[in-house]
């Protein structure tokens, strides 16, 4: 896998984690 693919996957994973974290806090 190329570095760009790893960076993109990591950013998406962190984005989803942050999104669910905010959702759980608001509930």
What per-residue confidence (pLDDT) applies to 1?
Answer: 76
Residue 1 has a CB neighbour count (10 Å cut-off) of 6
CA distances from 16 to 3, 8, 23 (A): 20, 12, 10
What per-residue confidence (pLDDT) applies to 9?
Answer: 97
pLDDT digits (tens, 9 = 90+) for 1-27: 799 999 999 999 999 999 999 999 998
For 7, the token pair is 């960076």
What per-residue confidence (pLDDT) applies to 27?
Answer: 80
Rounded Cα distance between 23 and 4, Å, is 28
């Amino acid at each position: 896998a190329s570095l760009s693919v790893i960076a993109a996957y990591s950013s998406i994973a962190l984005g989803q984690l942050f999104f669910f974290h905010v959702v759980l806090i608001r509930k």
